[in-house]
Amino acid sequence: MKFFLDSAHVNEIAYALEMWNLDGVTTNPRHVQASGKPFMQVIQEIAKLFDGTDKPISVEVNPHHTDWKLMVAEGEKLAAMCPNFVIKLPAIEPGFKAVAALADKGIRSNLTLVFSTSQALQAMRMGAAFVSPFIGWKEANGEESVRFIQEIAAIRDNYGFETEIIVAAVRNGRQIAESAIAGADIVTAGLAVFKDSFDHPYTHDGLVKFCNFWDQTKYE
Ligand code: E4P
């Protein structure tokens, strides 16, 4: 089970790399906007952090593109900049076509904004390296998400697809654990979500108790 950071904040990514053995990064236009930096600048700064590793960094093409050829042209340009870049494409018909065209050129892509099992299936069929089902958005809409991930994982296993499932829009530790149990390969989440998931108030209560006992005991 791999952990990706969903962020374009260079300092957050550097922190997670150092502290958590981070496995990769996903960015999107909202994260890039929040970084306050131009797109090209921020993706190059992120790329520098991953120099000499094979960890993937998803970078999203211009979301205005509706022509698959424009998606492919931009994907090729981005992929040429850094071997870690994975081209993030929307789960719409031209996006699926662009996945196949990029795969033919040896360029990996990540299908984003996936909300149905059949969208995930088409991403896998077309040769996506990654598929990103958005569970937080579904749950906010009153839809279930565990069965959704189980279905995608079952299809991956039934047909031996090599596509890795990145569970996205993850809001809490429960969803991280459920994704792992349901058969996802990767969870991508924000810094605060991961930090909260590593923590529990009883751990801190227990530490206070153990410190008290420690202080009442001789070491040797
Ligand atoms: C995943 O790749 C997306 O960047 C992300 O999870 C989007 O959802 P959010 O911004 O609502 O968390």
Instruction: Give me the pLDDT at residue 115, please.
Output: 98
Instruction: Give me the pLDDT at residue 151, please.
Output: 98
- Residue-wise pLDDT for 11-54, tens only, equals 999 999 999 999 999 999 999 999 999 999 999 999 999 999 99
Q: What is the mean pLDDT of the chain?
A: 98
Q: Is 218 a catalytic residue?
A: no
Nearest Cα neighbor of 182 from 190, 199, 200, 170 is 170
Q: Is residue 28 part of a domain?
A: yes
CA–centroid distance, residue 125 to ligand 1 (Å):
23
Give the number of other CB atoms < 10 A from CB of residue 116.
14
Q: Is residue 26 part of a domain?
A: yes
Q: What is the mean pLDDT of residues 200-207?
A: 98
User: Which one is catalytic: 48, 55, 77, 88?
Assistant: 88
Q: Is residue 118 part of a domain?
A: yes
Cα–Cα distance for residue pair 8/3, rounded to 1 Å: 15
Atom of ligand 1 nearest to the CA of 168: 6
Token pair for 118: 């059949």
pLDDT band at 129, cuts 50/70/90?
Answer: very high
Q: What is the mean pLDDT of residues 151-161?
A: 98
Q: What is the mean pLDDT of residues 156-180?
A: 98
For residue 152, give its domain range. 2-215
Q: Is 28 in the pocket of ligand 1 (CB under 6 A)?
A: yes
Q: What is the CATH number of the domain that holds 151?
A: 3.20.20.70
Atom of ligand 1 nearest to the CA of 88: 2
Number of domains in the chain: 1
Q: Is residue 220 part of a domain?
A: no
Q: What is the mean pLDDT of residues 125-151?
A: 97
Q: Are 129 and 112 in contact (CB under 8 A)?
A: no
Q: Is 26 in the pocket of ligand 1 (CB under 6 A)?
A: yes
